[in-house]
Structure 1
Amino acid sequence: MGDRSTIEWTEATWNPTTGCDRISLGCDNCYALTLSRRLKAMGVEKYQNDGDPRTSGPGFGLSMHPSALAIPRQWRAPRMVFVNSMSDLFHAKVPLEFVRQVFQVIAETPQHTYQLLTKRARRLRRLADELDWPPNLWMGVSLEDATHMHRVDDLRQVPAAVRFLSCEPLLGPLTDLKLDGIGWVIVGGESGPKHRPVQQDWVVDIRDACNEAEVPFFFKQWGGRTPKAGGRLLHGTTWDEMPQRLRSATT
């Protein structure tokens, strides 16, 4: 089934695939790893064949769940839906045909707005022309530090209605971040026992870049041992800016 979400910038999660593997420093303390282990130990069927997201190779498991494709059709009231909070739809092990099926569900449920996030921006760019892009799909890439700025360049070539950046966990400054072609930026510090601290200057620089480019800015958290440990205030203000949902996605 789909799950109501506690993530501040969405309302529900939908996981047509589960499982992933490490691709960069932002994956080191992945919340999905801890959660998937817990669900697997609880005997939740969907997570029994997934591998450790920090490893790859013959023992790695990424599972596709065709039965999950029907879930959004069961939601009548409009929702903001985060796609694959526990996986990456553009992982190399997910066939193009299955990606197309996910996109088809999105197109056939225009009452919802879907947020799809990937670290595999190169494959996203390569497949973009082979996909039909519905107007109720927002496409984003994760950007944890300046060494992965190429993901933003790849995203710019994707014909999504909204292109967005998730700078979480933010692990370094994003100096000279260019926001042309980008419609939304999320920033957040890391949480958990092994969290790496975020510096205020890094967050302020991104906020200022968003303000200058007139791009909505969403500050999710400072992070700490728990997601709420450091709060969400930046200079005394909560930043909850988001793009407007497209009229065609709600009518």
Structure 2
Amino acid sequence: MAIWNPWHGCHKISAGCANCYVYRRDESIGKDASVVAKTGDYDLPLKKNRQGEYKLSAEDGIVFACMTSDFFLEDADEWRQGCWDMIRRRQDLHFHIITKRIDRFAQCIPSDWGDGWDNVTLCCTCENQDRTDYRLPIFLSLPIKHREVICEPMLGEINMEKHLSTGLIEHVSCGGESGENARPCDLRWIQEVRRECIRCAVPFTFRQTGAVFIKDGRTYHLDRKLHISQAKKSGYSYIPNMGMADAIKYKLPDRGALFARLSRSDFRNRFHLSAKDKAYVTEKGMETIRSHARDFVEKRLSAENPENDGKQTPMKGHPVFIAQHAAACCCRSCLEKWHNIPSGKVLTEGERSYIVDVLMEWIEREMHL
């Protein structure tokens, strides 16, 4: 990996820019980050050492461009064509261009861009729902071969599943904000985007916690050196069919606390066994119902990424189906939200047994009403 900054300096355009690390760093050395200037590394992709070899070698692989500016900044219009020329020449490198100005892309590409270049990945940043709703439709409409979405700093809950379901986004990463005035990042926001990625089979990376991180309602203030390591330690990054979520450490909820929480949910409280359901349970017996529950959990919930997740459990037709919705055991997303069981992993025998026990306890409670 290498970094190429052909120019330096930028202008803040959205909420994610408020605590920009470039502005913070430049201010610390008495420099104005709003002044955009060409750098001495402008032609880095073509620079060679004394042996006549490129300083950026094929072994560097990915080159991140404009990490202290924006590639599509208006101030850089006169310099950008030269960068495209260098990118075109260096087909042995893969350039990642991160931008908040995806709305300027169409007017900034070279004449031979066509449907995109194989050695360029465009990374569109979306720090909140507002910018997601504005930028991603533009992003997906453009002729780009490789697309990634970056939610850093993540400033609120983001729903992007309709965009992920297009199959046009190759990777999503999320992370919190660093710095003295960092705004908080909530693990729940990270988890929700991760669940959406799992449902759409899109690789996901939890990049960093940020300086102010909320988990289970508790706020943590983390030293800079822990931001990346703690995110990695969480195990929340996900690659389809790699079983990576097995690394996530979690605790199953106390059953008493779980049922108390379920009782406060208007949606979960809609579900009750009918007289017909109760008669069926009485006729078959609890052990048979438990056997049915084990079968449903195994076939509909156990896979790493179950088919039609979120829609695989009927709303009626069997007492266990009713119990699954009432006890939030109907899909992998609900299992993660309510029971802390991570999505993106095959359920263990212990997890399956726990789910069946929860379902049977709910049914037993209903039978005594």
Q: TM-score, normalised by structure 2?
A: 0.53
Other-structure match for 1:71:
44
Partner SS for 1:94: helix
What is the CA–CA distance in structure 2 between the aligned matches of 1:240 and 1:214, rounded to whole Å? 9
Contact kept? 1:140, 1:155, Cα under 8 Å: no
Structure 2 counterpart of 1:232, one-letter code: A
Partner SS for 2:74: coil
Higher RCO by CA contacts (8 Å cutoff, separation 6 or greater)? 1
Which of the numbers 199, 215, 219 marks the counterpart of 1:212? 199
Structure 1 counterpart of 2:129, one-letter code: A
Partner SS for 2:195: helix
Structure 1 counterpart of 2:76, one-letter code: V
Are positions 1:140 and 2:123 aligned together?
A: yes
Are positions 1:124 and 2:122 aligned together?
A: no
CA positional deviation for 1:123: 0.8
What is the CA–CA distance in structure 2 between the aligned matches of 1:176 and 1:152, rounded to whole Å? 8
Which of the numbers 141, 145, 163 marks the counterpart of 1:161? 145
RMSD: 2.3
CA positional deviation for 1:203: 0.5
Structure 2 counterpart of 1:72, one-letter code: P
Name whichever of 130-139 and 19-28 sits farther off.
130-139
Structure 2 counterpart of 1:87, one-letter code: S
Other-structure match for 1:82:
64
Are positions 1:34 and 2:33 aligned together?
A: no
Contact kept? 1:138, 1:164, Cα under 8 Å: yes
Contact kept? 1:135, 1:160, Cα under 8 Å: no
Other-structure match for 1:92:
74
Contact kept? 1:185, 1:216, Cα under 8 Å: yes
Residue by residue, what CA displacement relative to the aligned partner does 1:128-155 show, whole Å, maximum 9, x if unpaired?
A: 4746243111001110000112111111
Tell me how many residue pairs correspond in the alignment: 213
CA positional deviation for 1:119: 0.6
Are positions 1:171 and 2:161 aligned together?
A: no
**Distance change in 2, residues 1:16/1:239 (3 Å):** same
Q: TM-score, normalised by structure 1?
A: 0.76
Contact kept? 2:149, 2:173, Cα under 8 Å: yes
Other-structure match for 2:292:
none
Are positions 1:182 and 2:151 aligned together?
A: no
Partner SS for 1:191: coil
Structure 2 counterpart of 1:219, one-letter code: F
Structure 2 residue runs of 5 or longer lacking an equivalent are 47-54, 212-221, 241-369
Contact kept? 1:69, 1:105, Cα under 8 Å: no
Other-structure match for 2:325:
none
Are positions 1:203 and 2:190 aligned together?
A: yes
Partner SS for 2:202: coil
Which of the numbers 17, 24, 43 marks the counterpart of 2:14? 24
What is the CA–CA distance in structure 2 between the aligned matches of 1:168 and 1:81, rounded to whole Å? 19
CA positional deviation for 1:217: 0.8
Residue by residue, what CA displacement relative to the aligned partner does 1:90-118 show, whole Å, maximum 9, x if unpaired?
A: 111121x5222212211211221111011
Other-structure match for 2:326:
none
What is the CA–CA distance in structure 2 between the aligned matches of 1:37 and 1:162, rounded to whole Å? 35
What is the CA–CA distance in structure 1 between the aligned matches of 2:198 and 2:2, rounded to whole Å? 28
What is the CA–CA distance in structure 2 between the aligned matches of 1:70 and 1:64, rounded to whole Å? 10
Are positions 1:222 and 2:209 aligned together?
A: yes
Between the aligned residues of both structures, percent identity stands at: 26
CA positional deviation for 1:168: 0.1
Structure 1 counterpart of 2:210, one-letter code: G
Give the greater-gyration-radius structure (CA): 2
Are positions 1:113 and 2:94 aligned together?
A: yes
Structure 2 counterpart of 1:175, one-letter code: N
Structure 2 counterpart of 1:84, one-letter code: C
